[in-house]
Structure formats: structure tokens, C-alpha cells
Amino acid sequence: MAEKAARRTDWGGVARKGASVLRPIPGADRGDAYAAGVPARNEQRPEPLADLERVSPEAGGPRRSGAQDAQRRRRPKVRLDVPQLDPASVRDMPKSERERLALRLRDAGEDFLAERFGDALSTLRPLASRFAAVAEVQELYGLTLYRLGRWTAAAHRLEQYEAMTGAIDQLPVLADCYRALGRLNDVHDVWDRLRLSGPDAGTITEGRIVTAGALADEGRTQDAIRLLEAGPLRPKRPKEHHLRLWYALADLYDQVGDLQRARRGFSRVQQAEPDFVDVNDRLASLNDAAS
């Protein structure tokens, strides 16, 4: 099925922002805010690759300091165009209802891009129930659930979105949900579908990073390294997905004790974007270890 005209292909990249954390974090406390089916408290599961921020169940979003909260409240809204919903999915709606849906979807998109995920969720939850056949709603709802750490619910919505559209651009996010749930065979299945579908460079790179994380979770670190080494390591104009790939590969080199290559990889990230996540701290740690 053809992809929907209204979809924002950059939403998935925004969803998977930050560094790609390939090492498992044991004993992660999921809390009661996560959907049913995620690992229980103190069960060893890898964190997803979404971000280095931690989710606050009480706030419905990443934990922030008081100063950060004040800054967030002062931040102007991102202005999006009113989405052009797929005519096939809204053809039976009255015009006024279509317009209200498009405006509410735009508001949710603005909250999502501004990282107000709790606000986006509040808008999208009733929309996702009422307009279950509208792919644009299911896509953004799934990505919002993903950023809130609700992996099972996010995977369900993104599976629906893929079934409705045949689109592959959110497969890396879906695979990351599977990885967080420990469904590593499903991660590999998604990678097989993705790499055979001829996606754009950013999407295939994001899928490569997630799959390398699954391989590392399985103890196949050398396979993970080889998979990342087959990616775009020397682009002329690096983009954010290149930086995530470099960071992920350097992280794996660090894990296996190849400190020279790890240092070289983190240095490449730092040269391209000096403030990329914690790259300065990683380099400082490696330099201390070498001294």
C-alpha cells in the first residue's frame, strides 16, 4: 500500500533521539506507568536506544530540573502545518470533524516535537480510540508511547500503523520496542524486512543500530561490531544518524577493550558535534584510563 501523504517521515528520527545505548542496564525499575507486558521490576532487560534521559512516571515524561521545567514552559510552540489526512481513512467524516481531527493531531505533533509527551498522550489517547483506522493518529500515538517507555503499547500501535500503510520508516522504532521487551528474535525479523525493503539511508542506519544492540544483548558483541562497521562510517556530510552509528560503534569497542578504536570513534563524534550527548565524558574517561 502506498504511504500516506500526510505522514511526517522525521517523527521517527525525533523519537529515537540521543545516543544509542548498546549495553544492557540491569535492574531497571520500570514502575507502574509502563504498559502491561514489560519486564517486571529488577528483571534484567536492556534499556531501549531512545535516549539517555530517564522517564518520570509521575510527570509522564523525562525528569527535569526546576530550571529546565521553567525553560520548557517558556519555549514557544513548534508550528506545524495542519496534517492532510489520507482521504481514504476520513472519507466518511463530516468536513468539520475532519478539520477538528487535523487540528488536534497538529497540536499533539507540536507537543511531541517539544518533548511534552504527557500532553501529547492526553490529546492522542482519545483520538486513537475513536479514529482507530487513521494511520497518522496511530503512528504519532505509538511514537509518543515509545518516548514514555511504554514499549508493549507502543509496539502494538506501530504494528497497526505498518499494517495500515505498508510503510517501513518506523520499523527501527518498532524494533527498539521489541529490544526493550527482550523480543530479540523479533528485532532480527524486523531487520530482515527492513534491509530488503530499500529504505532511505537514515532509516536503514537506525535499524542497523537497533539490531546491533540486540546482537550485543545476546552476547554476540563481535557480530554487533561487524554490523555497525558495515554502515556509513565516512559520509561527506554527517547527519545525526551517522553520529549515533559512530557513538554506538565506539561504545562497543569500549566494551570489548579496544580503547584505541573507541577513542577514535568518540573523537569523530566530538569533532562533528562537540556537545553530542555525553561524548566529552566518554573521551575523558578513556583518556584517564590511558594515562
pLDDT score recorded for residue 216: 95
For 202-250, write each residue's pLDDT tens digit.
999 999 999 999 999 999 999 999 999 999 999 999 999 999 999 999 9
| Per-residue H/E/C for the chain | CCCCCCCCCCHHHHHCCCCCCCCCECCCCCCCCCCCCCCCCCCCECCCCCCCCCEECCCCEECCCHHHHHHHHHCCCCCCCCCCCCHHHHCCCCHHHHHHHHHHHHHHHHHHHCCCHHHHHHHHHHHHHHCCCCHHHHHHHHHHHHHCCCHHHHHHHHHHHHHHHCCCCCHHHHHHHHHHCCCHHHHHHHHHHHHCCCCCHHHHHHHHHHHHHHHHHCCCHHHHHHHHHCCCCCCCCCCHHHHHHHHHHHHHHHHCCCHHHHHHHHHHHHHHCCCCCCHHHHHHHHHHHHC
- Residue 161's pLDDT band, with cuts at 50, 70 and 90, is very high
For 15-47, write each residue's pLDDT tens digit.
776 445 565 533 333 322 223 222 222 333 444
Instruction: Report the topology of domain 11-184.
Output: 1.25.40
Where are the domains positioned within the chain? 11-184, 235-291
How many other CB atoms sit within 10 Å of the CB of residue 58?
10
pLDDT score recorded for residue 33: 28
pLDDT score recorded for residue 279: 93
pLDDT of 166 > 70? The answer is yes
- Residue 80's pLDDT band, with cuts at 50, 70 and 90, is low
- Residue 123's pLDDT band, with cuts at 50, 70 and 90, is very high
State the average pLDDT for the chain: 79
Q: Which of residues 195 and 44 earns the better pLDDT score?
A: 195
